[in-house]
Copies of this chain bind each other. A is one copy, B any other.
Amino acid sequence: MTTEYSGSGDPKRSMELLWGMQERPRRGPKPRLTVPQIVRAAIEVADAEGLAALSMRRVAEQLGVGAMSLYTYVPGKAELLDVMLDTVLGEQARPEEVAGGWRGRLERIARENWTLYRRHPWLLQVAAHRPPMGPNVMAKYEYELRAVDGLGLTDVEMDSVIALISGYVHGAARGAVDAAQAERQTGMSDEQWWAEQAPLLEKVFDVERYPIAARVGAAAGEAHNAPAAPEHAFEFGLRRVLDGIDVLVSARRDGS
């Protein structure tokens, strides 16, 4: 059980934080902390213990201050999450030259997003709609659009293709992260878990009623025990999605 936040606190306050629009006050005691420090601590907590464990008290503890001190620097938890989001997007590499044309570029983008979700699983739980328009959110959007510019797609199609890739990676990463968290939380591998379920399942599972599920489930279950199973699933789906985009791009290239 974890907590989710739809990002986006007060947009005005978030923007001020994201673009550093605060002049250093002239009077009063020296600040003991900085916003980036708090954001870094919060990201550490979320990475290590999940979004559910990310509380203001926990972040404050991490920094050795009282919980309420954080409110001196940050309007609230929602705005903190906005800045966390933009900050981790800043970690992504965005190389200008990638081999393999548009397909190579989209592949690269997908992989970069994949590793980002693996590194910061809590990203899967913060809503992506109307994101805080921080510098890194913008840079990311521009970079991804550049991958499909000049292919003969309409502007709306370009946006749709990017959304498709992002959506696919999001879904695939969610599967992988869910699997990893289930394993960590229960302390059981999938194999062990299914073995434990077997006696219960046998009581209710009717092989004649679910013949394909029985056959495929067994095969898939075995495949999922492989160490790199989520990566394989990701690669499989990515190939299909890119093939599908290829059909569109080729059509736009040949015909109108």
Residues of A within 8 A of B (CB): 1-6, 8, 11-12, 15, 19, 52, 78, 125, 127-130, 133, 135, 138-139, 141-142, 145-146, 149, 154-161, 163-164, 166-168, 170-172, 174-175, 178-179, 181-182, 185, 190, 193, 196-197, 200-201, 203-205, 209-213, 215-220, 223, 233, 236-237, 239-245, 247-248
Contact = CB atoms under 8 A, between A and B. Distances in A.
A20 B192 CA distance: 25
Given A127-B182, A160-B233, A204 B19 contact: yes
B200 A15 contact: yes
Contacts of A133: 197, 200-201, 204-205
Contact of A142 (B2, B145, B161, B213): B213
A149 B133 CA distance: 46
A11 B220 contact: no
B2 A4 contact: yes
A87 to B, nearest CB: 16
Contacts of A52: 4
Contacts of A196: 11
Contact of A128 (B157, B164, B178): B178
